[in-house]
């Protein structure tokens, strides 16, 4: 049976590809990572329930803390919202980082990464691509908090540029923190174990900070812990950015902290990944 090479351009290209015996060029690290980032987005499209953490948590936290504590702590929910929203923005995004490790662990259990290992690609690409894909989840969570805050009456004096800077800082910090939970995803056996450890780590970091109240009202020993908590510095910078008063020193401190965290945990993660594969 012969093929009509004049039937369509698609058929012509197909015949040319079948007859081409040359080896395709190996995908570079950036291209491979981009493909795995798209894979993470496709998974969300097919299983939209994965977005429940970045949709429900920001909404619940913002509404709950505004109306539950606003009257008692600031005299009115509206006044408390002006202080609270940068904190819930930070908390909502940081809590979403645990699912990086949870999703990785689930894929490992299904043997997905065993198949990735057989591909002629840059070996860290599946990990790096998944982290790149998660930036969309973090950005969505941040956008939901800001959008809900605006609807409730929050007014950022820093304008659009201040909000954009705040979101960028939180997302960069969250990506760095994601390396911690990626490592846990490789080391721990089940997704539930990762979530248990994540809650033990994240809740003290986010609650023992200046997220909800001014540290000046705390006992001296607790205030000391809050002052050295990196999440406190992040919340203060986000709060200043949205108010239009962030300094270069504040922004640099947050970025430097993110670089330090990534520099420590990224190599540890890749070493664990190579050993596992």
What count of other Cβ atoms lies within 10 Å of the Cβ of residue 177? 27
Say if 8 falls within a structural domain. no
Say if 184 falls within a structural domain. yes
Kindly give, in sequence order, each residue whose CB lies less than 8 Å from that of residue 163, ignoring residues fewer than 6 positions away: 146, 156, 241, 242
How many domains is the chain built from? Answer: 1
Angle between helices 125-152 and 159-187 (to 10 degrees): 140
Say if 17 falls within a structural domain. no
Residue 262: C-alpha distances to residues 226, 268, 273 (Å):
22, 10, 15
Say if 13 falls within a structural domain. no
Please list the helix, strand and coil fractions of the chain in percent, rounded to the nearest 5, in that order.
Answer: 80, 0, 20
Q: What is the pTM of this model?
A: 0.84
State the chain's mean pLDDT as an integer: 86
The answer to whether residues 59 and 144 touch, using CB atoms and an 8 Å cutoff, is yes
The closest alpha carbon to 95, from 138, 124, 126, 62, belongs to: 138
Say if 124 falls within a structural domain. yes
Say if 16 falls within a structural domain. no
Say if 12 falls within a structural domain. no
What count of other Cβ atoms lies within 10 Å of the Cβ of residue 185? 28
Q: What is the pLDDT of residue 268?
A: 95
Residue 8 has pLDDT above 70, yes or no: no
The model's pLDDT over 140-175, given as tens digits with 9 standing for 90+, comes to 889 999 999 999 999 999 999 999 999 999 999 999
Q: What is the pLDDT of residue 21?
A: 56
**Chain center to CA of 222:** 28
For 125, the domain range is: 25-276
The answer to whether residues 158 and 165 touch, using CB atoms and an 8 Å cutoff, is yes
Say if 1 falls within a structural domain. no
User: What is the pLDDT confidence band of residue 123, given thresholds at 50, 70 and 90?
Assistant: confident
d(CA 143, CA 147): 6
Residue 236 has pLDDT above 60, yes or no: yes
The answer to whether residues 104 and 180 touch, using CB atoms and an 8 Å cutoff, is no
Q: What is the pLDDT of residue 27?
A: 62
Q: What is the pLDDT of residue 64?
A: 86
């Amino acid at each position: 049976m012969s093929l009509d090479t004049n039937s369509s351009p698609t058929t012509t290209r197909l015949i040319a590809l079948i007859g081409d015996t040359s080896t395709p060029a190996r995908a570079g690290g950036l291209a491979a990572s981009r493909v795995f980032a798209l894979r993470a987005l496709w998974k969300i499209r097919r299983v939209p329930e994965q977005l429940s953490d970045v949709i429900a948590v920001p909404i619940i936290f913002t509404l709950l803390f505004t109306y539950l504590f606003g009257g008692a702590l600031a005299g009115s929910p509206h006044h408390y919202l002006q202080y609270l929203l940068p904190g819930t923005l930070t908390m909502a995004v940081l809590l979403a980082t645990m699912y990086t490790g949870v999703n990785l662990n689930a894929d490992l259990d299904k043997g997905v990464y065993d198949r990735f290992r057989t591909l002629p690609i840059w070996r860290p690409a599946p990990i790096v691509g998944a982290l790149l894909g998660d930036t969309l989840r973090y950005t969505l969570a941040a956008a939901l908090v800001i959008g809900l805050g605006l609807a409730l009456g929050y007014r950022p004096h820093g304008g659009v540029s201040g909000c954009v800077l705040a979101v960028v800082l939180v997302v960069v910090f969250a990506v760095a923190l994601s390396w911690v939970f990626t490592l846990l995803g490789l080391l721990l056996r089940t997704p539930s174990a990762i979530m248990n450890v994540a809650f033990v780590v994240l809740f003290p970091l986010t609650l023992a900070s200046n997220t909800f109240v001014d540290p000046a009202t705390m006992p001296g020993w607790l205030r000391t812990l809050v002052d050295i908590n990196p999440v406190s510095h992040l919340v203060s910078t986000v709060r200043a950015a949205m108010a239009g008063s962030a300094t270069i020193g504040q922004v640099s401190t947050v970025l430097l902290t993110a670089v330090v965290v990534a520099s420590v945990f990224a190599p540890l993660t890749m070493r664990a990944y190579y050993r596992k594969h």
